[in-house]
Amino acid sequence: MERGLSRNTVASYRRDLDRYAEGLTAAGITDLAGVRASDVAGHLARLREEGLASASAARAVSAVRGLHRFAVRERLVPHDVAADVRPPAPPRRLPKALDVDQVERLLAAPDSDSPLGLRDRALLEFLYGTGARISEAVGADIDDLALDVDPAVVLRGKGGKTRLVPVGGYARAAMRAYLVRARPTLIIGGRGTPAVFLNSRGGRLSRQSAWAVLHRWASAVGLPVDGPYAVSPHTLRHSYATHLLDGGADVRVVQELLGHASVTTTQVYTLVTVERLREVYATTHPRAR
């Protein structure tokens, strides 16, 4: 609560600390006062041996370091034995973004003749049209929408922060079609949830089901759904940011639209556009090679 973390982050930290506690117990350590720096470093080594990705291992070490800082602050232990254990530096990865024509094929894939098809198209248009995280999309309520004015939607992001985001004409049309022609049919089987996106039983669409929707239609149009280049809901968020910057949007504006606390988080997308410039040059200039 003090840090304003999202439920998903708290759940991840809880799993990380449960894993740490299990490792300490297996080593015969039952009290934080008995933990040494070598035990913390050994925990990090085990995480890497288990094949945990560097980003996940870094988060796990961050959770462990936070626990020991808390223990010192609360005077449960005299020293912070984790202070000198550094998390692994994750490899620098550029966000994966789809080309505009790939996005258009994906958005056009769901049919418009069934309630679920209308919902799927609205969901995909919403994700790409607003740059929303998947948790923000499935967490959106009817009262968060104002499709007849700008900005058109209120998104509730990480740490309970809210932001106003405009919605383009295509997304508005898809949302209106879903809200008028599909949602009233879907909600009949539910209990009157205020959620925008509903499942087939009339309840709020879950993150897992939203992933399944995207994978279904990505596969239908030939986009990868497995491997390092698999399409995910975040892929549409990456594409949203990249296409805005490609079109000349200021990075500070994109920062506000994405809900990033720091512009340095948004600046990674400027690297994507530089990579795209290099690719276009390499494939089109007669003397590029």
Active site residues: 133, 158, 234, 237, 260, 269
Strand partners, 258: none
Measuring CA to CA, how many Å separate 36 from each of 41, 67, 111?
9, 14, 59
Decide: helix, strand or coil at residue 110.
Answer: coil
Quote the CA–CA distance of 73 and 83 in Å, as a whole number.
13
**Contact criterion met (CB below 8 Å) for 129 and 168:** yes
Structure-token match 């040059």, residue found:
281
How many residues can be counted in the chain?
Answer: 289
**Contact criterion met (CB below 8 Å) for 117 and 111:** yes
Strand partners, 145: 153
| Non-local CB neighbours of 206 within 8 Å, separated by 6+ positions | 138, 199
Tokens of 259: 């809900």
Quote the CA–CA distance of 116 and 223 in Å, as a whole number.
21
Tokens of 203: 């309840």
Tokens of 82: 């984790």
